[in-house]
Amino acid sequence: MSFSVAGEAYGRFMGRFSEPLALEFVEAAGIRPGQHVVDVGCGPGALTAVLVDLLGADAVVGIDPSPTFVDSARERLPGVTIVQGSAEFLPIPDQSVDAALAQLVVHFMADPVTGLREMARVTRPGGTLAACVWDNNPGGGGPLTPFWDAAQSVDRAATGETHLPGTTPGDLGRLFRAADLTPTQDTTITVRVEFATFEDWWEPYTLGVGPAGDYVGGLDDETRDAVRAACRQALGPGPFHLDATAWFVSAVR
């Protein structure tokens, strides 16, 4: 999985969606000043930055397995504790935070149920667990849906991201229940992102970020051109906007 890219590349590819999503996610999770929060799978810090604005640098810990993203988050947010680690083995004590949040991470965990259980372990009783993942359902509303729909129309080897846990309807709630967490909210969040030109949208797909970046990077020139042409046919030359929808689930510890 290509999360060993520079934070800047991530920002251009996915940060353009995850930055606005973070504002909505924090609101939906009910995070309030005075709380201490861990951002699990913080990446280069899209959600971490929103939490720091709301809670202060001392009240936020970010954790991510990617060394390049850890470096980017530390550079972006001086004074915030950013630790290299994974959801499945969170390097913080039991019941040490008021809330554990994971934005666009559960579907990349090696073991999502263990990761959610770990998030519960580090959260105080009565605290908040919340996660969101993109809607990867075929024909659904995720930011990658136009890309994978177009790729699959010209390349039968394009696997898409539907198989990732939590990304089809009801599956994130199922993972919470499998981790012995009863969802108190099981809903969606949608953010709108504007693109001035098709090229603005396409070019970050060539930066090697995540499964889609891995896929594009592995294509021969002819197939990559065919995928690009199918995307352009579907989206047009621009300007256009995409409404990107994430599944959102929260629970009380």
Ligand X SMILES: C[S@@+](CC[C@H](N)C(=O)[O-])C[C@H]1O[C@@H](n2cnc3c(N)ncnc32)[C@H](O)[C@@H]1O
> Which one, 71 or 238, has the nearer CB to ligand X?
71
Please tell me whether residue 7 binds ligand X under the rule CB under 6 A.
no
Query: Which residue is at the shortest CB distance from ligand X?
Result: 43
Minimum Å gap between C-beta 68 and ligand X is 9
Residue list 109-168, contact with ligand X (CB under 6 A): 109-110, 115
Exactly one of 103, 123, 145, 250 binds ligand X (CB under 6 A); that residue is 103
Using alpha carbons, select from 50, 68, 211 the residue that is nearest to residue 144.
211
Exactly one of 26, 29, 82, 104 binds ligand X (CB under 6 A); that residue is 104
Minimum Å gap between C-beta 50 and ligand X is 10
Minimum Å gap between C-beta 21 and ligand X is 7
| 3 state SS for 182-201 | CEEEEEEEEEEEEECCHHHH
Considering only CA atoms, give the Rg of the chain. 18
Beta pairing class for 240-252 and 123-134: antiparallel
Exactly one of 28, 38, 66, 208 binds ligand X (CB under 6 A); that residue is 66
Residue position matching structure tokens 């621009």: 238
Output b/e per residue, 229-249; b: 16+ Cβ within 10 A. ebbbeebeebebebebbbbbb
Exactly one of 29, 50, 105, 249 binds ligand X (CB under 6 A); that residue is 105
- Angle in degrees, CA 4, 45, 199, rounded to 5: 65
163 and 94 Cβ atoms separated by less than 8 Å: no
CA distances from 149 to 20, 170, 209, 223 (A): 24, 21, 18, 15
Minimum Å gap between C-beta 222 and ligand X is 29
Exactly one of 5, 14, 119, 231 binds ligand X (CB under 6 A); that residue is 14
- Point out which residues bind ligand X (CB under 6 A): 3, 14-15, 18, 40-43, 46-47, 64-66, 69, 86-88, 103-105, 108-110, 115
